[in-house]
Structure 1
Amino acid sequence: MTTFDDREKAFEAKFALDQEQEFKAIARRNKMLGLWAAEKMGLSADSAEQYANAVVRADFEQPGDDDVFRKIAGDIKGSGLSVSEGEILSKMDEFASMARDSIRAGE
């Protein structure tokens, strides 16, 4: 095997690891977002955990973050609360950053 082949395999392995970490970070972000929304809606601890898991599952409906945003925004609105799109998007960004840092730290 040549040095080029070794480098190619190393890049492929790093890419796979990066993709796996990003997947885990987004799932963690979604759970954090679900727990945040559940707290806003006044759900009990058990209900909050179930709701957060439902938010994680909602992300598999379509590529991107629109499905998660729609779920959170719709559920918050359905509970009679008023939370702006900007606040939800800001929380998504904040939790994504926290989740990525946590995954990189091996937590």
Structure 2
Amino acid sequence: MELLGEGERPAGAIVGALNGLLSGGRGAISQPAVSQHLKVLREAGLVTVRAEGTRRIYGVDDAGLDRVRAWLERFADGFAGPLDALETELARGKRERRLQAQAETRRRRGAA
């Protein structure tokens, strides 16, 4: 999806780009494997395909991504409360550590 986000590509170019990314010691990915992934993405409505001669050119289906975004937004409010609570706890911990450090500094100065 990330590669297609940069623009339309034929399956062969996707294979080449992925194998370039995976060259850091991991195995190569085959053309049939990429084609299977593209088929799943196409059936899910996330990728478009068009014929250009004998090649198939794949691209991102913006309407499909909009549907995914809308679906995910339903869950956004469910995360807001816990994330706000986490932020509060993190801030409280920072404040407590800062106050402890200040008290320790005052104690050391008083002992000197």
TM range (shorter): 0.3 to 0.5
Bigger RCO (CA 8 Å, 6+ sep): 1
More strand by share: 2
TM-score of the aligned structures, taking structure 2 as reference length: 0.33
Q: How does the TM-score come out when normalised to structure 1?
A: 0.34
The structure richer in helix per residue is 1
